[in-house]
Amino acid sequence: MSVPSLQVAAPEPSRESGPATTSQPPEGAASAEFLRFFGDDDPANPAHTELVAIARRLAPRTGTTQNAPVPARTGKPLPLRNPLGPPMSPETIVARVGTLASLPNIYFQVDKAINHPTSSTARIGTILSYDQALCARLLRIANSAFYGFARRVEGIEDAVRIIGTRQLHDLVLATVVLSQFKGIDSHLVGMKSFWRHSLACSIAARSIARQRRETNVERFFVAGLLHDIGSLAMYQLLPERSQLALERHRESDKPLDETERAVFGCDHAAVGAALMTSWTLPPFYRDSTANHHSSGSRGHTPATAIVHLADLLVQTLDLGSNGEQRLSRISPDVLERVGLQPGTLDAVADEVLSLLGEIQNLFLGDDKTGSEYWVSSARIPRGSSPPGCEPDRGRR
């Protein structure tokens, strides 16, 4: 996705300068791009006004290419029927993706142990210690600014104790999800860009949830990470249809989810929700994924509105993409649903920009292409003793 360059007419951007007070697009060459990105379907929405102001203040700082070419509008109508085959249900797509998108066994082992009535820190630590790569990564995250604990976390059992079992479960889920969906055609989406967008949304969702004093804010981090994962299932299983949907999206003013519904018969939000169901994840993840593009009159719950708003903010900041080229439709009452004071989104945007680099390093490692991630696929052999698992001091 390319957020329009704003530097043509906007003043020198500065984090200290505070949000702009107008939602008017800049004058000059950038204005057409600006209008195209933000659309004009609901300029009276206060969320739209805040996002426009944030883009004016911060988007040029996120590496937006100045004077990026605007794709020509061809005016082609969307196909009424899918030219590449019959409509498919989200469940059919997920069933056909099958084991390619299955979570590693260790996640289910940890999930089972945490939910067991006699669960213990030692037992959970033992299960985790069978996957040393996962352990090392969890410890690096536990010892990072992401958590900001006052003391060093010295081992995996210590991590279970200090982070808490529920939060650790969510952290394990976040880290194992990143090992899935290899082999996506980079012509469709760059994996680095996809995960950058997802992780930025994770930080934003967690930050907004904290502002709202939600319980277990880590689940919002995972919800942000998962919200677009249906795109990967579609890109992996049906690359030709995906390419058609992306082309239609680029060539028209239609949002990506709308072109997907025309080409596939369903959109990435619905496919992602079906994936959550197949993974037997808690309903919260299914609902936040299913509704992250919902903008109709049905409205959001406060929890799903948080992920919707986080996604909009990250699109505005031009931090990676799942293939979307312009701002998604904004729910008319999203700020009201989330219950944020005007201007709060500015602080969230600053937190995203300040944490994203470190979070990317922690979750994606040193991989430069974003296409190869460590794989956590350890299976726990019966009767064997766990290997040791020490903190990864060398990486700090």
- Give the range of 156-164, 206-214, 245-253, 308-316 binding Fe ion by CB under 5 A: 308-316
- Between the alpha carbon of residue 209 and those of residues 169, 190, 204, 269, the distances in Å are 18, 28, 8, 21
Residue type present at position 370: G
- Give the range of 70-78, 80-88, 206-214, 306-314 binding Fe ion by CB under 5 A: 306-314
- Give the range of 101-109, 130-138, 307-315, 374-382 binding Fe ion by CB under 5 A: 307-315
The least distance separating Fe ion from the CB of residue 80, rounded to whole angstroms, comes to 23
Decide: 329 and 293 in contact? Cβ < 8 Å. Answer: yes
Q: Which is nearer to Fe ion, 167 or 331 (CB)?
A: 331
Half-sphere exposure of residue 368: CA atoms within 13 angstroms, side-chain side: 0
| Residues with Cβ within 8 Å of residue 5, at least 6 apart in sequence | 30, 33, 60, 64, 65, 66, 67, 68
For position 311 contacting Fe ion by CB under 5 A, the verdict is: yes
The least distance separating Fe ion from the CB of residue 1, rounded to whole angstroms, comes to 9
Q: How far apart are CA 215 and CA 226, in angstroms?
A: 19
Nearest alpha carbon to residue 90 among 341, 278, 331: 278
For position 267 contacting Fe ion by CB under 5 A, the verdict is: no
- Give the range of 24-32, 144-152, 220-228, 239-247 binding Fe ion by CB under 5 A: 220-228
Q: Which is nearer to Fe ion, 50 or 311 (CB)?
A: 311
What are the structure tokens assigned to 323, written together? 């293939």
Helix H or strand E encompassing 360 = helix 344-364
Q: How far apart are CA 17 and CA 30, in angstroms?
A: 21
Q: Which is nearer to Fe ion, 137 or 329 (CB)?
A: 329
Query: Count residues contacting Fe ion (CB under 5 A)?
Result: 2
Q: What mask of x and - would describe binding to Fe ion in positions 180 to 219, judged by CB under 5 A?
A: ----------------------------------------
Q: What mask of x and - would describe binding to Fe ion in positions 78 to 97, judged by CB under 5 A?
A: --------------------
Q: Which is nearer to Fe ion, 256 or 362 (CB)?
A: 256
Decide: 2 and 68 in contact? Cβ < 8 Å. Answer: yes
Q: How far is CA 101 from the centre of its chain?
A: 17
Q: How far apart are CA 150 and CA 155, in angstroms?
A: 15
The least distance separating Fe ion from the CB of residue 230, rounded to whole angstroms, comes to 8
Q: Which is nearer to Fe ion, 195 or 373 (CB)?
A: 195
Give 257-309 as a DSSP string. HHHHHHHHSS-HHHHHHHHHHHTT--HHHHHHHHTTT--STT---HHHHHHHH
Q: Which is nearer to Fe ion, 228 or 318 (CB)?
A: 228
Q: Which is nearer to Fe ion, 3 or 113 (CB)?
A: 3
Q: Which is nearer to Fe ion, 131 or 228 (CB)?
A: 228
Give 103-159 as a DSSP string. PPHHHHHHHHHHHSTT--HHHHHHHHTT-HHHHHHHHHHHTSTTT--SS---SHHHH
Q: What mask of x and - would describe binding to Fe ion in positions 223 to 242, judged by CB under 5 A?
A: -----x--------------
The least distance separating Fe ion from the CB of residue 36, rounded to whole angstroms, comes to 18
What are the structure tokens assigned to 393, written together? 């001091």
Interacting residues with Fe ion between 315 and 354 (CB under 5 A): none
Q: Which is nearer to Fe ion, 135 or 229 (CB)?
A: 229
The least distance separating Fe ion from the CB of residue 272, rounded to whole angstroms, comes to 8
**By the criterion CB under 5 A, which residues form the site for Fe ion?**
228, 311
